[in-house]
């Protein structure tokens, strides 16, 4: 069966990685969560004092440190998805905190950070057979992807989903803080100069506000079948 490239973009916390990882498992593709890469750079910057007190980034210092940031993925059989490693340390949990979420968008707006991440992502997808989710996969990383999906849901629905997830994991969560974070990231991600979050002209839009996880997985599988058979 022919292998294709699948790009899943959209707003924060709308279910991109949930559907991407499930699809990859079903069809035996590699799954890459590009948000985890930007989150890992952010965690590194937080740990190394590369943020100013006002939340802005010490850009020159970060630039000098970029070659010391090694991000890798290793498949976790139990979780059924790849875990993210920063310089050899599993940071899967550490990169999902609200603190990291509150710092990530300024990091992801920096051109040299994006250039480094995009180069790595393109390398991982060189042989196709990949499902990648993020903000700029269909527009910048793989503009030639055979299937592009752009996912949306209302900000309240997305914040509720993230809130439920953090609660279930026993992590601190406040609904209003999460909603504010989701809205702020949407704004910064959509308005940055380099690769802003936007729907690619040839992407299919999916509003999953009122869909179950099973329904969206079925929907995505149908889209893939059409591309693979067609």
Ligand X SMILES: Nc1ncnc2c1ncn2[C@@H]1O[C@H](COP(=O)(O)OP(=O)(O)O)[C@@H](O)[C@H]1O
Ligand Y SMILES: Nc1ccn([C@@H]2O[C@H](COP(=O)(O)OP(=O)(O)O)[C@@H](O)[C@H]2O)c(=O)n1
Is residue 139 near ligand Y by the rule CB under 6 A? no
> In DSSP terms, which residues pair with 149 in a beta bridge?
8, 204
Residue with Cβ nearer ligand Y (82 or 134): 134
Residue with Cβ nearer ligand Y (22 or 136): 136
Name the residue whose CB lies closest to ligand X: 15
Residue with Cβ nearer ligand X (33 or 41): 33
67 is in an annotated binding site: no
Closest Cα partner for 13 from 131, 180, 142? 180
- Which of 103-111, 147-155, 166-174, 217-225 is the region at the interface with ligand Y (rule: CB under 6 A)? 103-111
**Burial tier of 162 (Cβ tally within 10 Å: 0-12, 13-18, 19+):** buried
Chain contacts with ligand X (rule: CB under 6 A) = 12-18, 133, 161-162, 165, 208, 211-213, 216
Binding string to ligand Y for residues 31 to 70, with x set by CB under 6 A, is what?
A: ---xx--xx-------------------------------
Instruction: Could you list the residues known to form a binding site, using ranges.
Output: 10-18
| Interaction site with ligand Y (CB under 6 A) | 12-13, 34-35, 38-39, 104-105, 108, 134-136, 185, 189
């Amino acid at each position: 069966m022919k292998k294709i490239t699948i790009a899943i973009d959209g707003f924060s916390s709308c279910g991109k990685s949930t559907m991407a990882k499930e699809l990859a498992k079903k069809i035996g593709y590699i799954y890459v969560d590009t948000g985890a890469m930007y989150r890992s750079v952010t965690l590194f910057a937080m740990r190394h004092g590369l943020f100013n007190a006002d939340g802005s980034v010490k850009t020159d210092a970060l630039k000098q440190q970029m070659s010391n940031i090694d991000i890798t993925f290793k498949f976790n059989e139990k979780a059924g998805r790849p875990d993210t490693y920063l310089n050899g340390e599993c940071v899967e949990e550490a990169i999902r905190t609200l603190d990291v979420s509150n710092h990530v968008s300024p990091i992801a707006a920096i051109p040299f950070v994006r250039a480094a991440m995009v180069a790595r992502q393109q390398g991982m997808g060189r042989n196709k057979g990949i499902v990648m989710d993020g903000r700029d996969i269909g527009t910048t990383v793989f503009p030639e992807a055979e299937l592009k999906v752009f996912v949306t849901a209302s900000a309240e629905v997305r914040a509720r989903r993230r809130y439920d997830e953090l609660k279930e994991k026993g992590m601190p969560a406040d609904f209003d803080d999460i909603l504010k974070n989701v809205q702020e990231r949407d704004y910064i991600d959509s308005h940055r100069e380099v690769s802003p979050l936007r729907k690619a002209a040839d992407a299919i839009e999916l509003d999953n506000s009122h869909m179950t996880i099973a329904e969206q997985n079925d929907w995505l599988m149908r889209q893939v079948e059409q591309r693979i058979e067609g």
